[in-house]
Amino acid sequence: MLGSGSTEILQSGNQHLFAYRRQLDQQSVLCVVNFSEAPQPFTSLPASSWQDELTATRYQAPTITLQPYQVLWLTPAS
């Protein structure tokens, strides 16, 4: 899915985080990248429960704290 489809750059509300959404048909993934050497909060989550597709870790909204240089590929958890 990340190789094709559309890309939407999102406002993360944090200058150290880069967030974007990749979408193809009815599937989408929310990608968040921390470019800082310090943990950073991401507070722009619309759903309440998310799963990182890279690690299978589950997160609860509204805030996720990304560790230094962490990358998340988030999908709504079922």
Predicted local distance difference test score (pLDDT) of residue 3: 75
Predicted local distance difference test score (pLDDT) of residue 46: 76
The tens place of each residue's pLDDT in the chain, 78 residues long, gives 567 889 999 999 999 999 999 999 888 999 999 999 999 999 888 778 999 999 999 998 788 999 999 999 999 887
Q: Omega of the bond prior to 62 within 30 degrees of 0, cis?
A: yes
Q: Answer for the pair 22, 5: CB distance below 8 angstroms, yes or no.
A: yes
Please give the model's pTM, rounded to 2 decimal places: 0.89
Token duo for residue 78: 């079922």
Predicted local distance difference test score (pLDDT) of residue 77: 87
Predicted local distance difference test score (pLDDT) of residue 72: 96
List helix spans (H) across 6-63: none
Residues 17 and 9: their CA atoms lie apart, in Å, by 12
Query: If DSSP codes are grouped into helix, strand and coil, which group holds residue 67?
Result: coil
